[in-house]
Amino acid sequence: MLKQFVFHHHTGYGQPHYDLMLEHDKTLATWQLTIPLPEIQDEQAIIVQKIQDHRLIYLSYEGTISKGRGQIKRLDFGSDESLIKEMSHWEFILYGQHSTAYYKLTKIEGDNNYWSLIKFQQSKRYN
């Protein structure tokens, strides 16, 4: 079943960063990235940080965040085809307005907040 995702650029609160938000149950599971999704090379692994889940309103929100937490700009959004969603391993395809790719998110052992994110071109999804 297709869910939704959004990819934000977050500024004005700490270091500028990017938030990948995937619809999961009634919230958005969220990971913080230091580079935008399109800049991740094919089969490149980057370290991302799992942060608190966000409300579904962020799927369509863009602008100033309350309580002085900066601003967000939507860089991409669309459908998320979840292939695997386990406690420490997710695989999914993001069908965005600007790009489509297959991703693997794997929790790094011994650390509750850090995960490895690997991007694959669509044609390599079953290899």
DSSP for 87-107, please give it.
TTEEEEEEEESS-EEEEEEEE
3-class state of residue 82 by DSSP: strand
How high is the mean pLDDT of the chain? 92
Using one digit for the tens of pLDDT, what is the confidence trace for 58-93?
Answer: 999 999 999 989 999 999 999 999 999 999 999 999
CA distances to 25, 41, 42, 44, 108 from 28, in Å: 8, 25, 25, 24, 20
pLDDT at residue 126, as a whole number: 46
Using one digit for the tens of pLDDT, what is the confidence trace for 23-67?
Answer: 999 999 999 999 999 999 999 999 999 999 999 999 999 999 999
What's the predicted TM-score (pTM) here? 0.92
The sign of the dihedral angle between the CA atoms of 66, 39, 122, 48 is negative
The sign of the dihedral angle between the CA atoms of 23, 62, 74, 112 is negative
Rg (alpha carbons) of the chain, rounded to whole number: 14
Q: How many CB atoms lie within 10 A of CB 101?
A: 19
